[in-house]
Structure 1
Amino acid sequence: MRELGEWLREQVAPWGLLLSERQLQQFALYYEHLIKINEVMNLTSITDVREVYVKHFYDSLTLAQVVDVSQVTSLIDVGTGAGFPGIPLKIAFPELKLTLLDSLKKRVGFLQEVADLLELDHVTCVHGRAEEMAKQKGFREAYDMATARAVARLNVLAEYCLPFVKVGGTFVSMKGPSAEEEMKEAKRALHVLGKTTCQRKELVLPEAMGTRNLIIMQKRDHTPKAYPRKAGTPTKQPLV
């Protein structure tokens, strides 16, 4: 695992991201705890150590190629699952105030264990649905940046995530190869939810482990109070 830590450090250094020995140790601890708990809880189908370092750790850190995360004070990772991309970003940028939001209580418990094990400060693990939490004071339009690596289409994800973002803030959606089509489909939703601009950066993961697209959205106006709609509605009746 030491070798993979050094590999990760070399890969991200050209982005101006310099990982310390302590940070490499945190990534190793994260991997070990993920695999241990994954034996009793379904957290990830990717368990090979090299694949985790590429498809989870490296992939999460690619956000640093499109956003100056050092200038981001508060970040919410919506539907974070096993903590991607939120926890790798927190390891790399320790000053970040991170909120991890997930709808499954067991996963939230795992995330808190990771935050404690890695001694990460300013990490808040929240059990709840995005449709409900985004209506609450302290969450609504409270974050400089939101991220999501969820499988929902972009017009649905935008309704879940943009209400958390401050005017002038950023939402980055991590998608697979079909991102361009989803961007066209989401054009109206992005306008309605905050007159949001949108651009895309395509990336190829190392060792031929897949293509990724980062969709970077800048929010220019407040999200109307009607959004997000009640639980289930964004998926059943997406904004098109």
Structure 2
Amino acid sequence: MTKAEKTPLVPLEPPELKALWARWLAELGWQPTERQQRQLQQLYPLVMAGNRTQNLTRITDPIDFWEKHLWDSLRGLCLLGPWEVIQTQPWRGIDVGTGAGFPGIPAQIALPQASFTLLDSTQRKIAFVQGVLQQLSLAQARAVARRAEVWGQDPQERGSYDLALARALAAAEICAEYCLPLLRVGGRAILYRGHWTEAEAEVLERALSLLGGKLVHIEAFTTPHSHSVRHCLLLEKVAPTPALYPRPPGVPQRQPLGRGKP
């Protein structure tokens, strides 16, 4: 790695973001290459341009965007291990309910040897994400407009992923029903949460017992600028998921696992 690659570039305005981003990177323990930094820098103007015609995000302040979309997306990946190790892994990953591309696009930038599928049921959001992938030259990623319940029953996709991500999508037990059928045995899922309680953990663990998964780790932290509370949950698939799951579209949300009869 050259000296230029080790030096974080100046993010887009406001100017104070330069110092903030350098500090946030140090907290993550991740040093992006110049190419990775440029790709991250392009996300803000691309999302803001898309926001003019469709409802992609309510977060428009530059500092809030970098903290709550970029830093937060990358922070979840820290559960997978040291950066020098995870950046070399040729994982097949999926971001379930990607929306405007978070956390999937930052994850693809940070894990260049992986190949991510960015899944969302809304065609217009997927069209936007496809455009961003092209503009950032992220050829190893793809964007797909499909419901998670349908994708999880596709025989070519089911049980074929090493890593699943789900952020700001639904309750944890619902996210688990979307993610676990897609993972191979030994695969992992990261669920991004805000606050987290013991009662939620109990519901999730009951759901995981039906899905062939286990809750490996819960990590609590605060965001570096707004000091908001966050939790990331690391799940592991330890047994094949029964063919019943995921259930048909809409059923996981109407009848969440772990709260009553599946």
* Alpha-carbon spacing, 1:78–1:179, altered in 2? closer, same or farther (3 Å): farther
Task: Report if the CA contact (8 A) 1:158-1:190 is conserved.
Answer: yes
SS at match of 1:202: strand
Q: How far apart are residue 122 of structure 1 and its match?
A: 0.9
Task: Report if the CA contact (8 A) 2:123-2:145 is conserved.
Answer: yes
Q: How far apart are residue 21 of structure 1 and its match?
A: 2.0
Q: How far apart are residue 6 of structure 1 and its match?
A: 6.0
Amino acid of the structure 2 residue aligned with 1:223:
T
Runs of 5+ consecutive residues of structure 2 not aligned to the other structure: 1-10
Q: What residue in structure 1 maps to residue 157 of structure 2?
A: 139
Counterpart mapping for 1:63-82 below 5 A: 63-68=76-81, 69-70=86-87, 71=89, 73-82=91-100
Counterpart mapping for 1:122-137 below 5 A: 122-137=140-155
Q: How far apart are residue 210 of structure 1 and its match?
A: 0.8
How many Å separate the matches in 2 of 1:209 and 1:54?
A: 10
* Alpha-carbon spacing, 1:199–1:119, altered in 2? closer, same or farther (3 Å): same
TM-score (norm 2): 0.87
Q: How far apart are residue 212 of structure 1 and its match?
A: 0.5
Structure 1 residue 222 and structure 2 residue 240: aligned? Answer: yes
Aligned pair partner of 1:19 in 13, 18, 32: 32
* Alpha-carbon displacement from aligned partner over 1:35-66 (angstroms, at most 9, x marks no partner): 01101100000011100000000000002321
Task: Report if the CA contact (8 A) 1:72-1:145 is conserved.
Answer: no
Counterpart mapping for 1:16-165 below 5 A: 16-68=29-81, 69-70=86-87, 71=89, 73-165=91-183
What percentage of aligned pairs have identical amino acids?
37
Task: Report if the CA contact (8 A) 2:69-2:102 is conserved.
Answer: yes
The count of aligned residue pairs is 240
Runs of 5+ consecutive residues of structure 1 not aligned to the other structure: none
Which protein shows a greater Rg? 2
Task: Report if the CA contact (8 A) 2:94-2:165 is conserved.
Answer: yes
* Alpha-carbon displacement from aligned partner over 1:190-213 (angstroms, at most 9, x marks no partner): 011014233200010012341110
* Alpha-carbon spacing, 1:52–1:188, altered in 2? closer, same or farther (3 Å): same
Amino acid of the structure 1 residue aligned with 2:103:
P
Root-mean-square deviation (CA), in Å? 1.6
Task: Report if the CA contact (8 A) 1:9-1:19 is conserved.
Answer: no
Q: How far apart are residue 179 of structure 1 and its match?
A: 4.7
Task: Report if the CA contact (8 A) 1:197-1:219 is conserved.
Answer: no
How many Å separate the matches in 2 of 1:14 and 1:72?
A: 25
SS at match of 1:186: helix
* Alpha-carbon spacing, 1:167–1:175, altered in 2? closer, same or farther (3 Å): same
Greater Cα offset, 93-102 or 70-79: 70-79
How many Å separate the matches in 1 of 2:52 and 2:168?
A: 22
Task: Report if the CA contact (8 A) 2:90-2:113 is conserved.
Answer: no
Q: What residue in structure 1 maps to residue 229 of structure 2?
A: 211
Aligned pair partner of 1:233 in 251, 257, 261: 251
* Alpha-carbon spacing, 1:165–1:5, altered in 2? closer, same or farther (3 Å): farther
Structure 1 residue 174 and structure 2 residue 187: aligned? Answer: no
Amino acid of the structure 2 residue aligned with 1:135:
Q
SS at match of 2:225: helix
SS at match of 2:221: strand
Amino acid of the structure 1 residue aligned with 2:209:
H
Task: Report if the CA contact (8 A) 1:176-1:213 is conserved.
Answer: yes
Q: How far apart are residue 12 of structure 1 and its match?
A: 2.5
How many Å separate the matches in 1 of 2:213 and 2:118?
A: 26
